[in-house]
């Protein structure tokens, strides 16, 4: 058993040199961002409503979350997609995606995000450019553009009054392949684990992503869905005690 350890260490050390990463993860001080290699998970070429379905997550509109963006390209073009509502509509694909408008007031820091129904312990964030719904009249099938550049992952715990950057992801396209589930492919869906540096989950009631580009031009970033995963924190002892006291007082008043 001990003799195998040096061999494993050698193999791991050679991976970065032989397989250039198409994503450079840059966590902010005090935070950790991890990537387990998922590439296009849940991809489905079929169109909605039967296909391209996003798995259940905290960011879905059907779960009460609210999408928000710095602007939307759809109204500018007079089309029924590339809208804010597409960020958490529960479907993948270019026809269910968002792009910021040419006149985005926050350029070059256009953004898209979701406001959650309450505080959660955030554990991962997923997003992509086109994870299915391959309409041939859009990109001739799979859309492979509008995905490169630097994304900033941010969270808020006060409803959006203040935002904190968890870190940045640089999709540089180096080593990008075209195989679903293979090496990193920038235009498919990817999920990133997020936490404080010590491993504790992040308390948040909103998540947003600052995107590399905006507008109709070739640099305009496209996101078909933002997914948020985590869990509702257990109430503290103090909260439980106050809740119990309130119930006792309510019963006392009724008597």
Handedness of CA 51, 55, 58, 59 (dihedral sign): negative
pLDDT at 209 over 90: yes
**pLDDT at 51 (0 to 100):** 96
Report residue 67's pLDDT band, with 50, 70 and 90 as the boundaries.
very high
Asked if residue 69 has pLDDT above 80, the reply is yes
| In contact, 207 and 226? CB cutoff 8 Å | yes
Q: Which one is predicted more confidently, 85 or 253?
A: 85
Global pTM reads: 0.85
Is residue 39 within 8 Å of 182, Cβ to Cβ?
Answer: yes
Across the range 160-168, mean pLDDT stands at 98
Query: What is the rounded average pLDDT of the residues 241-246?
Result: 45
Between residues 57 and 251, which one has the greater pLDDT?
57
Q: What pLDDT, on a 0 to 100 scale, did the predictor assign at position 107?
A: 86
Mean pLDDT of all residues in 217-233: 95
> How many whole angstroms separate alpha carbon 205 and alpha carbon 228?
10
Query: Which domains does the chain possess?
Result: 20-254 (2.60.120.260)
Range with the lowest mean pLDDT among 2-6, 68-72, 195-199, 222-226? Answer: 2-6
Three-state DSSP class for residue 53: strand
Q: In sequence order, what are the residues at sequence separation of 6 or more whose Cβ sits closer than 8 angstroms to the Cβ of residue 143?
A: 94, 129, 130, 187, 222
Give the whole-number percent of the chain exceeding pLDDT 70.
84
Is pLDDT larger for residue 35 or for residue 233? 35
* Range from 61-75, 174-188, 230-244 that averages highest in pLDDT: 61-75
């Amino acid at each position: 058993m001990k003799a195998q350890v040096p061999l494993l260490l050698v193999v791991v050390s050679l991976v970065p040199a032989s397989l250039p990463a198409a994503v450079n993860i840059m966590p902010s001080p005090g935070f950790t961002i991890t990537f387990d290699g998922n590439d296009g998970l849940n991809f489905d070429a079929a169109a909605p409503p039967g296909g391209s379905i996003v798995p259940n997550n905290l960011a879905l509109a059907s779960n009460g979350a609210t999408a928000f963006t710095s602007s939307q390209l759809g109204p500018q073009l007079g089309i029924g997609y590339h809208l804010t509502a597409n960020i958490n509509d529960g479907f993948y694909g270019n026809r269910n995606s968002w792009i910021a408008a040419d006149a985005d007031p926050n350029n070059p820091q256009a953004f898209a995000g979701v406001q959650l129904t309450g505080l959660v312990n955030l554990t991962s964030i997923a997003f992509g450019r086109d994870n299915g719904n391959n309409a041939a009249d859009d990109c001739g099938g799979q859309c492979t553009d509008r995905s490169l550049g630097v994304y900033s992952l941010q969270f808020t715990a006060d409803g959006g009054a203040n935002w904190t950057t968890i870190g940045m992801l640089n999709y540089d396209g180096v080593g990008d392949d075209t195989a679903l589930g293979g090496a990193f492919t920038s235009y498919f869906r990817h999920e990133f684990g997020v936490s404080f540096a010590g491993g504790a989950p992040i308390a948040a009631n909103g998540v947003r992503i600052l995107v590399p580009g905006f507008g109709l031009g070739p640099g305009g970033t496209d996101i078909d869905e933002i997914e948020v995963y985590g869990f509702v924190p257990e109430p503290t002892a103090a909260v439980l005690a106050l809740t119990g006291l309130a119930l006792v007082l309510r019963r006392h008043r009724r008597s």
